[in-house]
């Protein structure tokens, strides 16, 4: 094991020593519970998602927003431009009008220590332990980004499962999506399909890019059960990597900003030689 700064580092993950930060407080000052209730856990298992309201404190949201807006303004790499993906609504090229509209600030964890503090928050970490087991690992190869939906030049993201390009021994990962502002359908907020993580699909129900086909009659009943995800700043959407979700472009005049990380349990390692295994991982509960 070698050291990165004053933190020990290994190829399998970074071990974060010392006590966890204190529980988060809401703007009103009351302490946010650091665990799911039995009913909330049941709802996650049934629906494949759950919204934990006010999980991030106002200072955390403010600091991450400040970093995000500054890095967007300066185009601090690594970034992903809308024009690179060619999704519906995106600029045709980097040279077109709006071509340098940023879709994602990648490698979010490296953009400020506040991201480490967020990942170690008991309100987040203890919930992840309830879902994944005592030893929680954060792969840095996937998500680990700040998602943006900019006015005018953002795009539509079709229905998909996040596992589509990931390679782990089991499809058992959970995403935590932190809203840095208001999120709703109008500004490109997420839609989810409850229970889709428990469905078995045929390959033909997806297109070549592994988007769930909206033109296929057999997919219509499931698409008709979609639910809009409405979030306020500090809310966290937990969702299973198999949960179908989508988002439209931002039709408002203000950017929408979110931070998303994915997590796995200790026994669900990435497949050797895959892109999922190409980056380090954070071991968030080394003593568990």
What is the C-alpha to C-alpha distance for residues 226 and 287, in angstroms, rounded to an integer?
A: 40
Any domain includes 288: no
DSSP class of residue 224?
A: T
Separation of alpha carbons 94 and 31, rounded Å: 46
CATH number at residue 24: 2.60.120.620
Total-model pTM: 0.88
212's CB contacts (< 8 A; 6+ apart) are 158, 159, 160, 161, 201, 205, 206, 219, 223, 244
Q: What is the pLDDT of residue 224?
A: 98
Confidence check: pLDDT of 85 > 60: yes
Does the residue 214 lie in any domain?
A: yes
141-172 burial: b if 16+ Cβ within 10 Å, else e: bbbbbbbbbbbebbbebbbbbbbeebbbeeeb
Which pLDDT score is estimated for 207? 97
User: Using 50, 70 and 90 to split pLDDT, how confident is the model at 288?
Assistant: low
Residue 145's contacts (CB-CB under 8 Å, 6 or more residues apart) are: 80, 104, 105, 106, 107, 108, 259, 260
Interacting residues of 276 by C-beta distance below 8 A, sequence separation 6+: 139, 141, 142, 166, 167, 168, 270
Q: Are residues 69 and 254 in contact, defined by beta-carbon separation less than 8 angstroms?
A: no
pLDDT in tens, 226-244: 999 999 999 999 999 999 9
DSSP one-letter code for 108? G
> In this structure, is residue 266 part of a structural domain?
yes
The parent domain of residue 71 ranges over 12-283
pLDDT of residue 31: 59
Please state the rounded mean pLDDT for residues 192-206.
98
Distance CA 281, CA 288 (A): 16
Query: Domain for residue 4, yes or no?
Result: no
Whether residue 219 is contained in a domain is answered as: yes
Please give the backbone phi and psi of residue 244, each rounded to the nearest 5 degrees, phi first: -70, 135
Contact 153, 254 (CB under 8 A): no
Strands 13-15 and 281-283: parallel
Number of separate domains in the chain: 1
Sign of CA dihedral 245, 250, 251, 253: positive
Residues 169-178 have a mean pLDDT of 98
- Average pLDDT of 200-211? 97
> Is the model's pLDDT at 139 over the cut of 70?
yes
* Digit-coded pLDDT (tens) for 7-57: 232 333 333 333 434 444 444 444 578 999 999 999 999 999 999 999 999
Q: What is the pLDDT of residue 53?
A: 97
Q: Six-digit token pair at 221?
A: 């009943």
pLDDT, mean of residues 160-180? 97
Whether 3 is in a domain gets the answer: no
Nearest to 80 by CA among 53, 54, 106: 106
Residue 190 lies in a domain: yes
- The verdict on residue 7 lying in a domain is no
């Amino acid at each position: 094991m070698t050291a990165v700064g004053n933190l020990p580092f290994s190829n399998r993950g970074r071990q974060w020593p010392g006590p966890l930060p204190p529980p988060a407080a809401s703007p009103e000052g009351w302490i946010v519970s650091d665990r799911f209730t039995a009913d909330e856990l049941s709802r996650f298992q049934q629906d494949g998602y759950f919204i934990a309201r006010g999980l991030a404190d106002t200072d955390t949201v403010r600091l991450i927003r400040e970093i995000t807006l500054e890095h967007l303004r300066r185009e601090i790499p690594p970034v992903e431009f809308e024009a690179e993906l060619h999704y519906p609504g995106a600029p045709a090229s980097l040279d077109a009008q709006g071509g340098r509209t940023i879709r994602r600030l990648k490698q979010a964890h490296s953009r400020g220590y506040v991201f480490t503090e967020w990942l170690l928050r008991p309100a987040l970490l203890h919930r992840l332990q309830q879902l994944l087991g005592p030893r929680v690992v954060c792969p840095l190869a996937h998500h680990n980004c700040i998602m943006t939906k900019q006015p005018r030049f953002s795009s539509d993201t079709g229905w998909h499962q996040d596992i589509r390009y990931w390679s782990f021994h089991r499809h058992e990962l959970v995403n935590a999506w932190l809203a840095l502002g208001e999120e709703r359908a109008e500004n490109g907020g997420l839609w989810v399909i409850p229970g889709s993580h428990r469905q078995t699909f045929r390959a033909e129900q997806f297109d070549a890019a592994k988007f769930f086909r909206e033109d296929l009659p057999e997919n219509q009943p499931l698409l008709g059960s979609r639910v809009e995800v409405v979030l306020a700043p500090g809310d966290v959407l937990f969702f299973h990597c198999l949960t179908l979700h989508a988002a439209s472009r931002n039709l408002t005049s203000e950017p929408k900003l979110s931070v998303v990380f994915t997590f796995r349990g200790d026994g669900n390692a990435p497949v050797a030689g895959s892109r999922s295994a190409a980056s380090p991982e954070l071991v968030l509960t080394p003593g568990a």
